[in-house]
A and B are shown apart, each in its own frame.
Chain A
Amino acid sequence: MTPTRRRRLLLVIGILVGVSLAGGLALSAFRQNVTFYFVPTQVAEGKAPVGESFRLGGLVAKGSVYRKPGSMEVHFMVTDLKHEIPVEYTGVLPDLFRENSGVIVHGKLLPDGVFLADQVLAKHDQYYRPPGIHQAWGIRHGDPRDPALVQEAHTAPLHGSVVAATEYAK
């Protein structure tokens, strides 16, 4: 390799390293702002913004969904299996909204501890299977006993899944 080429090679590597470093520093500095949603444990620890809108993510607690008759109002608990936050929402729910399944709600935490949501999004995982297979396992999707989820929580604490986020929050 000629000296000019080596110099250019070093320059290109230098650019790459510099930009990666700058990017890494910027991202770690803005880590809080990159937080797309908070989990109930973080809210319970007071890490979520007070009096401002934010997103709350977790599982819809089993048996907690209550629909007010004759209206679009729905109440449910969002849990990360350690803490639960009651959520109130009026509007259309996404198709994938169901108990024991991932959900991300946007809204404000009221002084009485109820989260008033103005948007409800369903979060699904990367596991796809035909109907029937999970029933054979006796495990529902999103169930903390789901081997996939448990595996995830143990080996990848930073993974975007709810259970993993709980692990991380500890």
Chain B
Amino acid sequence: MAWTWFHRLASPPHVYRTAGRLAPWFAWPAAILIIAGLVGGLWLAPPDYQQGDAYRIMYVHAPSAWLSLMVYTIMAVAGGIGLIWRMKVAHAVAAAAAPIGASFTFATLVTGSLWGKPMWGTYWQWDPRLTSELLLFFLYLGYMGLRAAFEDLQRADRVSAVLAVVGVVNVPIIHYSVVWWNSLHQGPSVMYLGKPTMPPSMLVPLLIMFLGFTLFFGAVLLMRLRGEVLNRERTARWVAEEIGA
């Protein structure tokens, strides 16, 4: 059957082994791309005509922000699949993704704040973009806290999945906050109205960083997923065979 690969995704030992096999294919390209992107962004790209070298924090800030949104969306989709199909592996994906997403959100807030002080003149303002991103951070923390609050894994899975699905409404709000409202934050970077917002010498390293960060997330997710699956299946025989052998 053509759907065998999909159904096998519901099998914890299969997921555990596949994740282990795939992880290096994400980790190594991620390392190479991030190093290349950093060299390109921090050394090769020219300084900005207005912000000078300060704009270079963008090479960490923008990919982190992108991932803070993408990881939450993945978490919500995985949570939804878990709710509808009662698929344990989907809940495991969501649970494994949450701390990574929270870390990227934290990195976004910190780098944004460090960028804001010299350029805007403030570390923090209760601006729509900044506030909605902070809300995202609290959603991640809430998700993780909610999971931890339940003894019973199944209840933790279901209740936290509902929170993940509810909170995903915030994702488009964050993205469009700079379009819908007056904001201190500039508009969407990279492409705007189908045109790049910066010359290739600045854009290419940024795109490399986007790809590198995304692959890095993939690698960490796969490794965390292995741990999550192992922990959930700790009484199963295949785990004993896998570990104890």
Contact = CB atoms under 8 A, between A and B. Distances in A.
Interface of A: 5, 8-9, 11-12, 15-16, 19-20, 23, 27, 34-39, 57, 92-97, 101, 104, 119-134, 141, 148, 151-152, 155-156, 158-161, 165
B165 interface: yes
Contacts, number: 141
B42 to A, nearest CB: 14
B175 interface: no
Given A15-B162, A20-B169, A126-B189, A131 B122 contact: no
A104 B169 contact: no
B55 A128 contact: yes
Interface stretch (B11-19, B192-200, B217-225, B236-244): B192-200
Interface size class of B (residues with CB under 8 A): 35 or more
B47 interface: yes
A159 B187 contact: yes
- Majority-rule SS of B interface residues: loop
B166 A160 contact: no
Nearest to B126: A36
B199 A161 contact: no
Contacts of B51: 96, 124, 128
B181 interface: yes
A123 B84 contact: no
Contact of A134 (B49, B180, B186): B49
A126 B49 contact: no
